[in-house]
A and B are shown apart, each in its own frame.
Chain A
Amino acid sequence: MEAKEEKKPSEKEQGSESVSMIRTLTIVAIISGILIVGAYQWTGPTIKKNKAEFLRKAIFQTLPQIKELKIFKEEPAGILVPLVGEEEKATRYFAGYDASGALVGVVVEAEGQGFQDVIRIIYAYSPEKKAIVGFKVLETKETPGLGDKIEKDPHFLENFEALDVRLDADQKSLVHPIEVVKIGNKKDLWQIDAITGATISSKAVGRMVNKSAGERVPVIEKNLSLLKGGS
């Protein structure tokens, strides 16, 4: 059945055996290293492109009426400047414009701990409505069938069609922090109806949107003329 080939190394002394063990492991490690680096070099650009493409597609889904996108990054002291080229670490603001060039909304990224692992989302803020008008989950490992409803559940996603994130008088924080309430108890525009069976995931999303909006919306409002000008 199986072609057997008994070719065990003959008895050797202790010393040369260790040498051969070290040699084998070193050679295999070098081969492994070369293979991994090769694969990384080969796929790296495609992976980067895929990720950027995925994000772009997601942004256009959260703000379906936009035709053009401009990317800004946040400098210290909350000043926005156009992002030139690519910067991995930059805090990015994606400003979307409609066909006539008017600002529709600004999309930002947010992340936070969910039930299983980090959840990454994007949401769109409309300066005109002073509200969050779009939402999409980029990355989640929440329980299939329960927690992953934050991605698809139509009733939950309705929460983000007009989620009030008005700023207070000194333009520094939200008038009403975003609250997650039990399903069916949503009364105010700044509340989120949770998903039955996925309370932890819903609350995690609420928390991260609240925190992120508290930081990002003031920056957007401060730089509104720049964002509207589009350059």
Chain B
Amino acid sequence: MVEGQGLEGKTTANLETFLNGLWKENPVLVTILGMCPTLAVSNSVINAFSMGVATTFVLVMSNFLISLIRNLVPKQVRMATFIMIIATFVTVAEYVIQAISIEIHRSLGAFISLIVVNCIILGRAEAFASKNRVIPSILDGFGSGFGFTLAICCMGAIREVLGSGAFAGVDLFGPHYEPWVVMILPSGGFFIFGLLLLFSNWLNQRLKRKGA
């Protein structure tokens, strides 16, 4: 089948599907799904980025496979089927991460396995991939995945700079900077998340008013 099509969507519908996930229906900022990894592993940019990439991979692959077999799955067992497919790709992602870097695997810890229960993925499978053709489903996976990555990386960047005085592990302010430790603790995640929501809603409203 056609896989890994570029972003140059053939039709505006495809492009719209992609952009929907990226911004208009951003899984983190608009539909507020997948909070567990968003809050838990956004304490550094590298963690956030790896989590985003792993989730995107699982989203795209499971959307692809689910869309491929959508007409063969009886609706009574669709959840079981979807979860099985998602869990498979999560396991694959876990092996690949371990093969790429033990350090990243160490810092993401249990949250890799928990991608299975990330509502973004099951949500996209149920709401989109099970009803649409393969190519739009793949694009939808990429859109939501990139949207998630974008949001979680924003969180990661803000929290790491404030909480550890570093960006992607590179020290920014020298040894005399007293890190704002609460920012890399769970409570800091909630603060930053709230502010990020505030900002994205403000931006959206502004854009809407301008457009109107």
Chain A residues near B (Cβ < 8 Å): 1-5, 7-9, 17, 20-21, 24-25, 27-29, 31-32, 35-36, 39-40, 42-44, 46-47, 50-51, 54, 139, 141, 143-146
Within B69-123, which residues are at the interface with A (CB < 8 Å)? 69, 71-77, 80-81, 84-85, 87-89, 91-92, 95-96, 98-99, 101-103, 106, 109-110
15 contacts between A and B (CB under 8 A): A2-B17, A2-B132, A5-B131, A20-B74, A32-B85, A35-B92, A36-B91, A36-B92, A39-B96, A40-B95, A42-B95, A43-B98, A47-B99, A50-B99, A145-B185
A144 to B103, CA, bound (A): 15
Asked if B128 lies at the interface with its beta carbon under 8 angstroms from chain A, I say: yes
- B 51-80 to A, binary, CB cutoff 8 A, 1 in contact else 0: 000000000000001000101111111001
A3 contact from B89, B102, B132, B163, Cβ within 8 A: B132
Query: Interface residues of A: mostly helix, strand, loop or mixed?
Result: helix
Q: How far is the CA of A17 from the CA of B71 in the complex (A)?
A: 14
Q: Is B195 an interface residue (CB 8 A)?
A: no
Determine the residue in chain B with the shortest Cβ distance to A139.
B106
Residues of chain B at the chain A interface (Cβ within 8 Å): 13, 16-17, 43, 65, 69, 71-77, 80-81, 84-85, 87-89, 91-92, 95-96, 98-99, 101-103, 106, 109-110, 128, 131-133, 136, 163, 181, 184-185
Residue of A nearest to B87 (CB): A32
- Which of A28, A47, A144 interacts with B98 by CB under 8 Å? A47
For the complex of A and B, the 5 pairs showing the least CB-CB separation, nearest first, are A32-B88, A43-B99, A46-B99, A39-B92, A43-B95
How many angstroms between the C-alpha atoms of A145 and B136 in the bound complex?
42
Report B-chain residues with C-beta under 8 Å of the C-beta of A32: 84-85, 87-88
Shortest CB-to-CB span from B97 to chain A, Å, is 9
Dominant secondary structure of chain B at its interface with chain A: helix
**Residues in B whose Cβ lies below 8 Å from that of A5:** 131-133
Which listed residue, B71, B98, B184, touches A145 by the CB 8 Å rule?
B184
Query: When chains A and B are docked, how far (Å) is the Cα of A82 from the Cα of B106?
Result: 30
CB distance from A81 to the nearest CB of B (A): 29
Chain B residue nearest to A6 (CB atoms) is: B131
Contact A51 B102 (CB under 8 A): yes
**Min C-beta distance of A138 to chain B, whole Å:** 9
List 12 extra interface pairs beyond A2-B132, A3-B132, A40-B95, CB under 8 A.
A1-B16, A4-B131, A8-B75, A20-B74, A24-B72, A24-B73, A24-B81, A25-B77, A36-B88, A54-B102, A143-B185, A144-B43
Given contacts A1-B13, A32-B88, A39-B92, contact A21 B98 (CB under 8 A): no
A43: chain B residues within 8 A (beta carbon):
95-96, 98-99
Of A5, A17, A39, A44, the most chain B CB neighbours within 10 A belong to A39
CA A47 – CA B79 in complex, angstroms?
32
Is the CB–CB distance between A145 and B181 below 8 Å? Answer: yes
Q: List the A residue with the shortest CB-CB distance to B78.
A: A24
Q: In the complex the two chains form, what is the Cα distance from A20 to B78 in whole Å?
A: 12
Chain B residues within 8 Å of A143, by CB: 185
Which of B75, B85, B136 interacts with A28 by CB under 8 Å? B85
Complexed CA–CA distance, A5 and B181 (Å): 51
B88 touching A3, Cβ below 8 Å: no
